[in-house]
Amino acid sequence: MNIRLSTGKEIPIEMHKVRIVQKASLVPVEKRLKAIEEGGYNTFSLKSKDIFIDMLTDSGTNAMSDNQLAAMMVSDDAYAGSESFYKLARAIEDVLGFRYVLPTHQGRAAEHLLAKVFIKKPGDIIPMNYHFTTTKAHIELFGGQVLEIYEDEALNTQSKHPFKGNLNIQKLKDAITKYGTGRIPFVRMEATTNLLGGQPFSMQNLKQVKQICSEHNIPLVLDGSLVPENAYFIKLREEGYKNKTIKEIIKEFMSFIDLFYLSARKSSCVKGAFIATNNEDLYERIKPWLPVYEGFLTYGGMSSKEIEAMAVGLREMTDINVAGSVPEQVKYFVEGVIENGIPVVTPPGGLACHIDAMMFLPHIPQSQYPAGALAAAIYIVSGVRSMERGTISMDRDKDGNEVYSDLELARLAVPRRVYTMSHIEYVVDRIQWLYRHRDLIKGLKFVEEPPVLRFFFGKLEPIDNWGTKLGEAFKKEFGVQY
Ligand code: F0G
């Protein structure tokens, strides 16, 4: 929720109280430099003890509510028939309207099952509004191909378009004509599109996608990892939804969806995931594989405590103060950065402040990974951990050629209910400082490059030892203690 101050300025106000806290520490710049060097200039390799504000992700890093913690005390650990599972199933039916539920240990496990069951032939095509790293990896491991069909505006980082996550309807029709329905096992929509900067799609777009899928008998799959945030943007930005509740908007989404999955590590603030549907046939096709890869039907690799907390988290995410908390904090964050002319993805999205590294560092060619260099530089000057979402996050093609990402973004994710306004102010300030000293940042090159999802374990080094020079410039201004 936003509150208007007497000065006229609007600020996002926290509609919760913080009663359990965790100590944070800011290690000095020398130590940060050593940590990033040892970690191969990859923020995934940093240790938590060396990080002040962790904006790597909003996945599994959110603060649970008191009611979620309370629910964990009464879980039922039965291997089969656990009462905790039936509570979750009731919450899913109530919030999303789906009767059949397949729990999995996390979102990518759901993606694995979908790819395994539905991709039948090499060369099968999965049209989608945009890929996510793990989704793409699973589809390709089963021989499928991702076909991204977004609107032109989606790749414009400096945009005012309210629904950059929309799928391009004409391109979907063209794809069906070109490949035929036999090669398209399903169409996937992602709410909100993570790698485009957490950008939502509109209800009207989803309706149109569904209509085309129905005409051709193609199942429509929704990755709903950030579904309350997408619903929040619809309430704010789409005509006719102002007076609808988040729950009503989510329910309307689901009326168009054949198969739903989400990673509960985000909006529901627990470690787990599930697939849900009302289509018995789709459910029965996936079900036999669940115990093979995840666990029995009533726990799917999750602990019963997390299942209990998920049932509560799903209901809580439909509260407008929960659904809107990250979008509003992100908006405040983005507006602070933009004020100083720093290129950042607009409109503000559903999970993070995304800095456009190609615009921030125009002197670094894509072959030298500007987004990776920016993420490392942000850490050096602030102790804030962000994530590279650019070419390092793309794997090479099968001939070993580099696949350049459409966007080079350094993503500063905002975990739910974890950081305060002064944390945000601090991050904005250090990014401003970095922008003034951006010429000191140069590119990166790989020294160790894994064959799949290389961004997780890859090791890189700075060209011309720029990290040390940046650290020196920072120390000169702020002293050794920062
Ligand atoms: N789909 C989307 C849209 C995601 O954002 C993620 C994870 C997944 C699927 C996979 O779920 O992590 O539970 O296996 N996104 C995280 C992130 C990792 O940092 O954005 P998971």
Could you say which of 318, 346, 363 is where a domain stops? 318
Is ligand 1 within 6 A of the CB of residue 134? Answer: yes
- Do strands 273-277 and 100-104 pair parallel, antiparallel, or not at all (unpaired)? antiparallel
Calculate how far, in angstroms, residue 227's C-alpha sits from the geometric centre of ligand 1: 13
| Residue-level pLDDT at 239 | 98
**Same domain as 248, residue 280:** yes
- Residue that has been written with the tokens 């201004």 in this structure: 477
Query: What are the distances in angstroms from CA 409 to CA 172, 390, 415?
Result: 27, 6, 18
Are residue 87 and residue 179 in the same domain, yes or no? yes
| Whole-number CA gyration radius for the chain | 22
pLDDT of 316 above 90: yes
Positions marked active-site: 79, 132-133, 223, 266, 389, 455
pLDDT tens profile 39-48: 999 999 999 9
Residue 400 CA to residue 411 CA, distance in Å, equals 26
**Position 189 confidence tier, pLDDT thresholds 50, 70, 90:** very high
Choosing from 297, 318, 339, the residue where a domain stops is: 318
Alpha helix positions (H), 277-364: 280-286, 290-293, 304-316, 320-323, 325-338, 357-360
3-state helix, strand, coil in the chain (%, to 5): 45, 15, 40
CA distances from 92 to 98, 318, 323 (A): 6, 12, 17
* pLDDT tens digit sequence for 135-144: 999 999 999 9
Give the pLDDT of residue 342.
Answer: 97
Q: At what angle do helices 246-254 and 227-237 cross, to 10 degrees?
A: 110
Token couple for 436: 């003034």
Bridge partners (DSSP) listed for residue 250: none
Q: What is the pLDDT of residues 255-312, one digit of tens each?
A: 999 999 999 999 999 999 999 999 999 999 999 999 999 999 999 999 999 999 999 9
For 5-34, how does the pLDDT look when each residue is reduced to its tens digit (9 = 90+)? 999 999 999 999 999 999 999 999 999 999
**pLDDT recorded at residue 320:** 97
Give 463 Cα–ligand 1 centroid separation in angstroms.
31
Distance 188 CA to ligand 1 centre (A): 15
pLDDT at 340 over 90: no
Structure confidence at residue 481 (pLDDT): 83
Residue nearest to ligand 1 atom 8, measured at CA: 107
* Distance from C-alpha of 149 to C-alpha of 86, rounded to nearest angstrom: 38
Say whether both 49 and 97 belong to one domain.
no
Does the CB atom of residue 395 touch ligand 1 within 6 A?
Answer: no
Same domain, yes or no: 406 and 376: yes
- Do residues 54 and 182 share a domain? no
pLDDT of residue 311: 98
What's the average model confidence in pLDDT over 70-83?
97
Distance CA 230, CA 260 (A): 15
Q: What is the mean pLDDT of residues 410-419?
A: 97
The reported pLDDT for the residue numbered 280 is 98
Same domain, 239 and 281: yes
Q: Please state the rounded mean pLDDT for residues 379-389.
A: 98
Domain boundaries, position 294: 66-318
For the cut 90, the answer to whether the pLDDT of residue 480 exceeds it is no
How far is Cα 195 from Cα 458, in angstroms, rounded to an integer? 19
CATH code, 389 = 3.90.1150.10
260 lies in the same domain as 344: no
Q: Is 90 helix (H, G, I), strand (E, B) or coil?
A: helix
- pLDDT value at position 419? 96
Nearest-5° Cα angle at 321, 234 to 203: 15
| CA 324/CA 228 separation, integer angstroms | 8
Instruction: State if residue 225 touches ligand 1 by the CB under 6 angstroms criterion.
Output: yes
Alpha-carbon torsion, ordered 151, 154, 158, 163, to 10 deg: 80
Helices 304-316 and 83-95, interaxial angle, to 10°? Answer: 20
pLDDT band at 219 (very low <50, low <70, confident <90, very high): very high
The answer on 383 and 263 residing in a single domain is no
Q: What is the mean pLDDT of the chain?
A: 97
Q: Of 318, 341, 369, which closes a domain?
A: 318
Q: Is 72 found in the same domain as 34?
A: no
Looking up residue 179, the CATH number of its domain turns out to be 3.40.640.10
Same domain, 141 and 212: yes
Nearest Cα neighbor of 111 from 254, 258, 273 is 273
Q: Report the C-alpha gap between 437 and 377 in whole angstroms.
A: 10
Q: How far apart are CA 109 and CA 415, in angstroms?
A: 22
Q: Give the residue, by CA position, lying nearest to ligand 1 atom 21.
A: 107
Ligand 1 binding pocket includes 271 (Cβ within 6 Å):
no
Judge if 46 and 194 occupy the same domain. no
Question: How many domains does one find in the chain?
Answer: 2
277 CB-near residues (< 8 Å, 6+ apart): 98, 99, 100, 258, 259, 260, 283
Q: Are residues 159 and 267 in the same domain?
A: yes
Q: Assess whether the C-beta atom of 61 lies below 6 angstroms from ligand 1.
A: no
